[in-house]
Structure 1
Amino acid sequence: MQPDPTTSEVPHVVVGGGVVGAATAYTLTARGERVLLVEQHGRGHHEGSSHGATRIFRQGYADPEYVDLTTRALALWDALEARSGTTLLDRTGAVDHGRPEVVDAIAAALASAGIPHESLTTDEAAARWPGIAFEGRVLTHATAGRIRSADAIEVFLTLAERTGLAELRFDTRVTAIEDHGDDVTVSLGDGTSVRTPSLVAAVGSWAPTLVGALLAARGARLPAVRVTQEQPAHFPSHLPDTAWPSFVHWADGDDVYGLLTPGEGVKVGFHGTGPVVDPDARDHRPVAAEVERLQAYVARWVPGVDASRPSLISCLYDTTPDEDFVIDRRGPLTVATGFSGHGFKFAPLLGELVADLATGGEPHPRFAL
């Protein structure tokens, strides 16, 4: 029987060109592995969770394990900047305020990890950052800031390409996956197929539909990944860029995050409150009542911006019940999903964790299925 000329073989197929897929392709090629990356949308697309110019980097977790992961990620961000010659992390500092039990727990975790931080009164914080109104406890740490997220994805992809070991195919959808036991055949929308012993599904919100059944057939189940359409917004600021740290308000209602996106305004959003959607059938249209609620919040708590002029954003969250990530392998399939609105800051570390699995390593116990 003659081999199918439309089927090729490659050591690793990475599905997903967002930040986790891009970081994984970068890490694998840096280790000398050959990779095909396929992405159903265009390069730098706006259909998933990774798009936009900025994301928060912060070490302010109440969970010591996540604090440790931020320290590991920070070292990898520094290494990536050095290798690429590109600034990717602007250390503006971060401020947490609100519910005392949460802020105090964050302070304790930072102290345990030896990360310098400072507690302030609300008056001291308002004098330092007049664009924000504060309540409850206030905590700041200087190692935090904002990631130049669009630039980061492009750096991961470009460095992978430069090795000569990566082929990147955009606007190429996976139409089927056939499990052979030790390897899989991945059928693509361009009419070709690829056989591989290592398929990485770094597809975020698309994981349940793309690989849920394949995992179930191997005796593993994804947690209930809740896919929502979130709608933060940029608001114009009348303060200088240097006036803005990244910030999280641990409010009595929904938690809120914010940071400056230079040239676009201050991005403010509720954490994980959007409607459940099908990632292939979302309309990107804002929920009017939620826009009004966000504007009311901003008018009260972010006096350094014009709350009446939001520039709305639409993005996806793929959230697990405990907001822990899912990074694990079954047979030839490695899955990465459930980043729950807080994964981007860990991107170079996530690339390492996923690449470890794809090359035969063990999963991080916290993120195993």
Structure 2
Amino acid sequence: MVVVGAGVVGAAAAWQLAARGNEVLLLDRFGPGHSHGASHGTSRIYRQTYASDPYVRLAVEAHDLWRCLEDVTGAPLLQITGGVDHGDDVASVRALAASLAAHGIAHTWLDPREAEQRWPGMRFSGRVLLQPDRSGRLHADQAVAALTAAAAGHGAVLRRHTRVERLAVRGDDRVDVATPDGRIRARRVVVAAGAWSAGLLAGLVDLPPLRVTQEQPAHFAVRGADPCRPVDPAWPTFIHHTGPAQGWPSAVYGLPAPGLGVKVGFHGVGPECDPDRRTFTAEPDQLARLQDYVARFLPGLDASRPDPVSCTYTTTPDSGFFLHAAGPLVVAAGLSGHGFKFAPALGRVLADLAVGDATRSPLAAAG
């Protein structure tokens, strides 16, 4: 089997497939730790705080698989910090609390002043939902490296700097994978190509509309912190459910970033882009709005000197995942913005689809 894309989801699929005894070739057009896609950097949020049952169940499964991966590789990947949700969209926060209660996941409510005493570097809008023991931070680069190492440990072969130029389906049990180094014949191909999915799969799979944007969160230094030491883990991950009605472009997320401060960003409002022609340059007006937000709601951070980060989001119109089997092709697309946390469980779902097993996830489809 061939897996196209060695980001976090492709690497997870390669791990799951190889662990089941399949011969796996993992292809990636870039080198390790590259910044062209959506899997690089130090920090991604892990949380089980979702209102949708399938996503909660997938996140719970992913938690156990992240811990399994840590055991297998010895790499520290998931740091539990606790996570908070607050904001002007009260109904959304209440729906999250109801979902946590329905799944038996620990949570509690704090009033804003209580929350500010607990986290003096933060300010809050409305009641604060705290999930204390299943929310935290994943180290992105280390997670991808651990997944590829675990896949290799089961015999998977990783070939970097290998661009897949096109795919040709030759029947129900064969795909030709064209690369600059020649053609590879595969019985199944799993495509987890992120921003390059639409171009690679055009005419082969009925994809939903995929929007590729260049997002620009930024790292902000913690006031009074030693720049040579990691951020105090007392900083939780957080989601502020706000938006244009309150003067901000979108909801805001944030999380500790070891050695870099706290990563803060607007969610999914970057300009559309061609992934091969990105500028990697922060849009000045949006960066200024992010600094305004930090100055108002995160006074424990230095808003005056942001360090912008550039990454791509590839999203469907409803931000739902596209997990689909079409003959010998298996596709994962539209995962950006919240897919990283689920990666090892998504790898399991893709492996199910690739080998023809009935998958436990209602998010996946075969056709």
In the TM superposition, residue 201 of structure 1 has moved relative to its aligned partner by 0.6
Supply the AA of the counterpart residue of 2:304.
Answer: S
The alignment yields a C-alpha RMSD, in angstroms, of 1.3
- Aligned ranges 1:345-360 → 2 under 5 Å: 345-360=341-356
State how far apart, in whole Å, the 2-side matches of 1:341 and 1:361 are. 28
In the TM superposition, residue 248 of structure 1 has moved relative to its aligned partner by 0.4
Please tell me whether the aligned partners of residues 266 and 290 of structure 2 are also in contact (alpha carbons under 8 angstroms): yes
Asked if 1:245 is matched to 2:236, the reply is yes
Supply the AA of the counterpart residue of 1:193.
Answer: R
Identity of aligned residues (%): 50
In the alignment, which residue of structure 1 is the partner of 2:340? 344
Please tell me whether the aligned partners of residues 210 and 317 of structure 2 are also in contact (alpha carbons under 8 angstroms): yes
State how far apart, in whole Å, the 2-side matches of 1:161 and 1:79 are. 16
Residue segments in structure 2 that go unaligned for 5+ positions in a row = 226-230, 245-249
In the alignment, which residue of structure 1 is the partner of 2:228? none
May I ask how many residue pairs the two structures share in their alignment? Answer: 351
In the TM superposition, residue 357 of structure 1 has moved relative to its aligned partner by 0.8
State how far apart, in whole Å, the 1-side matches of 2:53 and 2:110 are. 22
State how far apart, in whole Å, the 2-side matches of 1:292 and 1:353 are. 40
State how far apart, in whole Å, the 1-side matches of 2:179 and 2:232 are. 45
- Which of 100, 107, 128 is the equivalent residue of 1:110? 100
Poorly superposed stretches of 4+, deviation over 6 Å: none
Q: What is the TM-score of this pair, normalised by structure 1?
A: 0.93
- Which of 185, 189, 213 is the equivalent residue of 1:228? 213
Please tell me whether the aligned partners of residues 95 and 138 of structure 1 are also in contact (alpha carbons under 8 angstroms): yes
In the alignment, which residue of structure 2 is the partner of 1:180? 170
CA deviation string 1:130-185 (max 9, x = no partner) = 1111011210111111011111110111121122x211111110112222112111
In the alignment, which residue of structure 1 is the partner of 2:365? 368
Supply the AA of the counterpart residue of 2:136.
Answer: G
SS of 2:32's equivalent in the other structure is coil
Q: What is the TM-score of this pair, normalised by structure 2?
A: 0.93
In the TM superposition, residue 100 of structure 1 has moved relative to its aligned partner by 1.2
Please tell me whether the aligned partners of residues 18 and 44 of structure 1 are also in contact (alpha carbons under 8 angstroms): no
In the TM superposition, residue 287 of structure 1 has moved relative to its aligned partner by 0.7
- Which of 30, 35, 39 is the equivalent residue of 2:24? 35
Residue segments in structure 1 that go unaligned for 5+ positions in a row = 1-11, 216-220
Supply the AA of the counterpart residue of 2:354.
Answer: A
Supply the AA of the counterpart residue of 1:168.
Answer: L
Distance 1:320 1:272, change over 3 A: same
State how far apart, in whole Å, the 2-side matches of 1:160 and 1:68 are. 24
State how far apart, in whole Å, the 1-side matches of 2:47 and 2:294 are. 21
- Aligned ranges 1:8-87 → 2 under 5 Å: 12-87=1-76
- Which of 109, 113, 119 is the equivalent residue of 1:119? 109
CA deviation string 1:94-146 (max 9, x = no partner) = 01111211111100000000001010000000000111110112101111110
Supply the AA of the counterpart residue of 2:302.
Answer: D
In the TM superposition, residue 281 of structure 1 has moved relative to its aligned partner by 1.3
In the TM superposition, residue 255 of structure 1 has moved relative to its aligned partner by 0.3
Supply the AA of the counterpart residue of 2:222.
Answer: S
Please tell me whether the aligned partners of residues 27 and 355 of structure 1 are also in contact (alpha carbons under 8 angstroms): yes
